[in-house]
Structure 1
Amino acid sequence: MIPYFEYSGSQIFYQFKDNNSKKTLILIHGAGDNSNIWEYQFYLNIDYNVIAIDLPSHNKSNTFPELSLNLYVDVVKKLVDSLKPERLILGGHSMGGVIIQEYFYRYPNDVSALILCSTGGRMRVSQFIFNSIKTDYQKYLDYLRSGSFYRKTPKKIIDESILETSQIDPEVTYNDFKICDVFDTLEKTESIDVPCLIICGKSDQMTPVKYSQFFHEKIINSKLCIIKKAGHNVMLEKPKDVNQAIEKFINIENFI
């Protein structure tokens, strides 16, 4: 399978693991990030094909003149419509969680389950983040070392993640955070009626545990997994724990 699909004349890159299944798990990265943040989830032992996309203007996808939540949702919809999976699970990290929530509210019949990772139903962003991205991108990157990771996460993991983020255009990262900052669907959360796995790092500073606990309280058919010794980028910090939670959700607990 060619690792690009076309949207409005532009190329969108994705990573793909073909498990010879009619079911698909699509993973969406967060603000100023790319599909590589899901690298360990390609080792999942599940009966689903696994796809992680680079959103428009991120990493290997083409640059778009304007970025918005509508665009991101439309891109995911184009991919889903082209695949036509028998069952679809959407997973999203941080802003990716915003995107898959919005996707569900628009196209609930498409979705069999959601995986909400380090995200929230309302995502206010501090002025410090906006200012540092605009005036001193290195200052923002330095902040991520403590803001996105547990304090004892190995330096190699942090360095590799920061390098990925450093290659994203600061304007793209800024726009991503603007999307997060205005997102507020707390009043809709109770309407999520598909099985939902909620994952967060216990030491997450960007989207604190209380955000995930809110999801768990409001979504009837949900499972909450709080992972110790992990921060915002929990999938990189504790990939085995995250994968075990996803595999249990899909394979054992019969949520799907």
Structure 2
Amino acid sequence: MLLDVQGKQAYCYTGRKVFDAALPAIVLVHGAQNDHSVWGLQSRYLAHHGHAVLVPDLPGHGRSAGPALTSVEAMADWLLALLDAAGVQRAILGGHSMGSLIALEAAHRAPAKAAGLALLGTAYPMKVSEALLETSRSNEEAAIDMVNIFSHSSMAHKPSCPGPGFSVMGGARRLMQRMSARNPEQLFYTDFAACNNYANGEAAAAGIACPALFILGSKDMMTPARSAKLLTGAVKHGTIVTVEAGHSLMTEAPDAVLDALAGFAASAYAT
């Protein structure tokens, strides 16, 4: 689905269902150097089980027009504008990694729009090492390789992979390379710098009134579970689910992530 958001074209995947804003809505936001495809399994299931699903490509990512936005705050404002363009009055706001900060800030800025908040692979502060920041600026291909290695718990395929010959790590690497090819304006550095500079996380979390779900990977080296303590401690109505995965938990533990999201959606909209 294509929408006009802040005067530019924005693409949203809807789980291969016609979008119906009257249904209980769920918005899933991807992380740095990614696009909507990282939510493939979860988005399709939720869309075929009674939800209006919006999975946007952020500006400058995937099929959405650029330029990429340079701060979490600007991306949160864009996300709220996207909801307005889609006619969504209230939604569960979910996000992975950088996307989790965007969802958090959006819920803070417009609490009436947040039926729930789902933060996956999150951390605050989400600091990026100077070495990785510089590598993302000077040698994006090397940064992609570094992050891809750190984002997976092992090179071995998990039982939940789609089938023989499917490479979780290889797929993630190709996605990041495709994002670079589509947007050569130092997209990785822009995303990383936005995460590194975001400073409102703890205050935003403290003001969240809706139910919140944290899905954390037990083997996550990019955003270890301990790095989420400022957020989990500040949120008043939060539940923590730990899955056996690294940072790329939607692909390494897709069924466990889906179970947690589906259960949370049912309970959030039941209240």
> TM-score normalised to the size of structure 1?
0.90
Structure 1 residue runs of 5 or longer lacking an equivalent are: none
CA distance in 2, matches of 1:33, 1:65: 12
1:192 to partner: Cα distance? 1.4
Q: 1:24, 1:11 → 2: CA distance?
A: 21
- The aligned amino acid for 1:246 is L
Instruction: Report which stretch shifted further, 112-121 or 143-152.
Output: 143-152
Query: Contact 1:54/1:61 (CA < 8 Å) preserved in 2?
Result: yes
Q: C-alpha separation between the residues in 2 aligned to 1:24 and 1:124?
A: 31
Contact 2:4–2:85 (CA under 8 A) maintained in structure 1: no
Deviates more, 1:235-244 or 1:7-16: 7-16
How is 1:157-196 mapped onto 2 (pairs within 5 angstroms)?
157-169=168-180, 171-184=186-199, 185-196=201-212
- Distance of 2:269 and 2:7 partners within structure 1: 40
Residue 22 of structure 1 contacts residue 85 of structure 1 at CA under 8 Å; is this kept in 2? no
Amino acid at match of 1:7: V
Whichever residue aligns with residue 9 of structure 1, its letter is G
Q: For residues 42-86 of structure 1, what are the alpha-carbon distances to aligned partners after superposition, in whole Å with 9 as ceiling and x for unaligned?
A: 233443211111001111111227533343222211221133335
Once residues 63 and 217 of structure 1 are traced to their aligned partners in structure 2, the CA distance between those partners, rounded to angstroms, is 36
Report how far residue 100 of structure 1 moved: 1.0
Letter in 2 for 1:232: H
Task: Encode CA deviations 1:176-196: one digit per residue, 9 max, x unaligned.
Answer: 111100112224422211100
Task: List alignment gaps of at least 5 residues for structure 2.
Answer: 158-165
Amino acid at match of 2:6: S
For 1:8 and 1:192, the matched residues in 2 are separated by: 26
Shift of 1:173: 1.3
Letter in 2 for 1:29: H
Which residue in 2 is equivalent to 1:206? Answer: 222
> Which residue does 2:62 correspond to in 1?
59
1:28/1:96 contact within 8 Å kept: yes
- What is the CA distance between 1:4 and its match in structure 2? 0.9
Report if aligned partners of 1:121, 1:186 keep a CA contact under 8 Å in 2. yes
Cα 1:254–1:90 change in 2 (3 A) is closer
Contact 2:116 2:268 in 1 (8 A): no
User: Is the CA contact 1:147–1:205 (under 8 Å) kept in the aligned structure 2?
Assistant: yes
Residue aligning to 2:134: 131
Q: Equivalents in 1 of 2:172, 2:51: separation in Å?
A: 26
- Distance across 2 between alignment mates of 1:157 and 1:249: 26
TM value normalised by structure 2: 0.86
- The whole-number CA distance in structure 2 between the counterparts of 1:199 and 1:117 is 5
CA contact (8 A) 1:22 1:86 kept: no
Mapping 1:96-175, distance limit 5 Å: 96-154=99-157, 156-169=167-180, 171-175=186-190
- Residues matched between the structures, number: 253
Which of the residues 47, 50, 65 maps onto 2:50? 47
**Matched-pair identity in %:** 25
SS in 2 for 1:57: coil
- Of 246, 252, 271, 1:237 maps to 252
